[in-house]
Structure 1
């Protein structure tokens, strides 16, 4: 036998022995691996032992408070919860309340938004819906992504529309569940006809901006809460039709000062308790204030510059005319203001007054 063959045989025997040792080690490791995996499989995460009712309450608090809509994808979306584990996925996909607020806005491509919204509407079951649609001013027609939502308008409970007037949807069917409506229809193009809604028997809250005020026809008389950003004359025209308001916020803009001698007749708001008057242009709102008679008013918030040269006298006249008993008056001042804190305190000793957020005492 050649010498090198003997050496190879000894080397082969050594290799086989080493392989046998490694196989024993691998077998030992696989046995240990199985034991560890068995322990992991038997472990139940504490949160997964919670009753479904509690888990669902956690999920609902994880999402934005309804009717605000969560993002369609990513963090704070119900789809995020469905990706954690199989148990959560089954729970999320079978809970309609998690899919009832749909926001058709953001930077997601329109085709993807259309597909996602169709899935969400299907998962929402028979739940009332909160719909938030936003389109850029350049749009001249309603995109397909909104068609699926429109088909379910009988289930709309809250509706927010920020769309061009030319792309405003046509509502031919009633919306018997609608409680709140938020319209922002400012547009590069003011073309378009009147905006009409049907069957709004439960509508109580409206927020309307710009063109929406003059173009829209709503059951103003049944509203209890109203926020308007519009020309002063448009606001007063709406207020004449809304005697049941409890809360009113007017953010006024106009081409000129709305003087008291332009008011046709007083507007009675017998149930109004909270009135907020904003004016980003620093224009006088005496004409608006003097036209209102609000006997139940408890809280008044406005800007001192909008009350003319003698704001304290203007407020005294308004309070005396309305016969109201204010419980709080918030006055915002620019610069030093026209009346000092002591003057306000002396003029209204029984009313808590806040000047720029600081209580007058």
Structure 2
């Protein structure tokens, strides 16, 4: 009778316990499955065969168990060796990294790029900003600690708890900045002793201030003094938030506080009840003015003194309390950028800005000051942003007086009534390029924005998607992209081609919008955002 085992190779205890590569043993077990489904004993031949198979398997089991233990030991040793090899590779690659051989000048440039592109980090947080870089190696630590330019941004955001070492770290930071001008960002929510001490340390270095952003309780102003501001010979930008009510009053010490800031050119004031007398500033020296007030007339009093402004942002929360009827307009001949938020658009009737290039305004439905302002100032306006909820005819009227626009952004809501919503359709028709034959049609409004290259429409419709006038909208975009003067005879010449079109609206995708996909494939930069 043949043996039940077919042993390709037999390894005994006396032989090497390490099997050769590709060497294995096969056990061919007689078919015993049929006997699992019956209680009948196997016949004599099967019983003899099964007994022999059981004997060989029993003899083989101790050897295999010992072989497995041996292989497990070898595997464990190899895994440990692999771990050590990987660690060696990591360590030696790190030590031999080309970064360690970079010239100091190149390392400095990398540091400037990395740190300069991030928001200012809390100087008391050792896990952010400069501090982690000082832990890399001695060279990096030396470069950072000894280069004053890395220590010129001092950011102290508001904290619930301050570490005990806060004053020491802030002093170290300021010491490392050397004589360089510094950017200071300090926020304080309460009047505990430690925040006051930190602010006093900052004030002691006022001679380094170039840009200051303070969000502090008004009582901390007492730590400032005309002497401290007088030392601030390089202070050019001031962002002050006292979080006061507009009806509050500043103490008399503030009236002359910033008069000695001889190079201060930019101010942003929030929560500061401002008049020309309450906060002493050299108004005529200012080039940038960003202030929130309650009543518009408070801005006018300041603007009559700040005639050198180049950029101006004004926010009002209330309408006129006492409109200055009959007063002369304020001439701001250097002004190039003007932003009017809240109810501040009413100030336009008192402004004269012949060199204005960019205007952003919140316009009421019936406010007509924009067209009058443009007709009076006659600026060569390049950019215009209008928010109107709901929109009225005053937008289209004003656009007739802004023929030099290159960028137009409209954020409007279309009235619910169809008769009123027709103002949006009229606007689209006016923005469409027309042939001369079309222009002779009395129902067509001739477009004058012949230099427009970028158009942004944010349109909110309340009741019906029909008020979006999708066909007129797409026809307008197509006409400005294809530039009739280049594709058809008998059309106007010198018409600028639209380069960028953005539409944001609370509508689903309408069939007419498929045109925008085609225009995008042709090269027009389109951004359609539906929600």
Per the normalisation by structure 2, the TM-score is 0.54
Q: Does 1:124 align with 2:177?
A: yes
Structure 1 contact 162–184 (Cα < 8 Å) conserved: yes
For 2:202, the equivalent position in structure 1 comes to 149
- Backbone CA RMSD of aligned residues: 3.2
Structure 2 contact 267–288 (Cα < 8 Å) conserved: yes
Q: Deviations over 1:293-346 (max 9, x none)?
A: 1111111110122xx6154xx3221112223221221111224x1139766655
* Counterpart selection for 1:285 from 330, 345, 349: 345
Q: Which range moved further: 141-150 or 240-249?
A: 141-150
Question: SS state of the match for residue 276, structure 1?
Answer: strand
Q: Does 1:339 align with 2:396?
A: no
Structure 1 contact 158–180 (Cα < 8 Å) conserved: yes
Give the gaps of 5 or more residues in structure 1.
1-28
Which of 1 and 2 has higher RCO (CA within 8 Å, sep 6+)? Answer: 1
1:46-85 mapped onto 2 (5 Å cutoff): 46-64=98-116, 69-72=120-123, 73-85=125-137
For 2:280, the equivalent position in structure 1 comes to 217
Structure 1 contact 209–228 (Cα < 8 Å) conserved: yes
For 1:264, the equivalent position in structure 2 comes to 327
Structure 1 contact 139–166 (Cα < 8 Å) conserved: no
Tell me the number of residue pairs that the alignment of Structure 1 and Structure 2 aligns: 318
Change (3 A) 1:41 1:334: closer
Q: Does 1:207 align with 2:264?
A: no
Change (3 A) 1:310 1:129: closer
Structure 1 contact 184–212 (Cα < 8 Å) conserved: no
Per the normalisation by structure 1, the TM-score is 0.77
Structure 2 contact 312–339 (Cα < 8 Å) conserved: yes
* Counterpart selection for 1:250 from 299, 314, 322: 314
Q: Distance in 2 between matches of 1:217 and 1:57?
A: 41
Q: Distance in 2 between matches of 1:82 and 1:229?
A: 42
Structure 2 contact 340–360 (Cα < 8 Å) conserved: yes
Q: Rg: which structure is higher?
A: 2
Give the gaps of 5 or more residues in structure 2.
1-80, 412-454, 458-475, 481-531
Change (3 A) 1:62 1:47: same
Deviation at 1:257, TM superposition (A): 3.2
Q: Distance in 1 between matches of 2:345 and 2:396?
A: 24
For 2:456, the equivalent position in structure 1 comes to 358
Q: Deviations over 1:272-303 (max 9, x none)?
A: 01100011xxx4632x1111111111111101
Deviation at 1:192, TM superposition (A): 3.4
For 2:436, the equivalent position in structure 1 comes to none
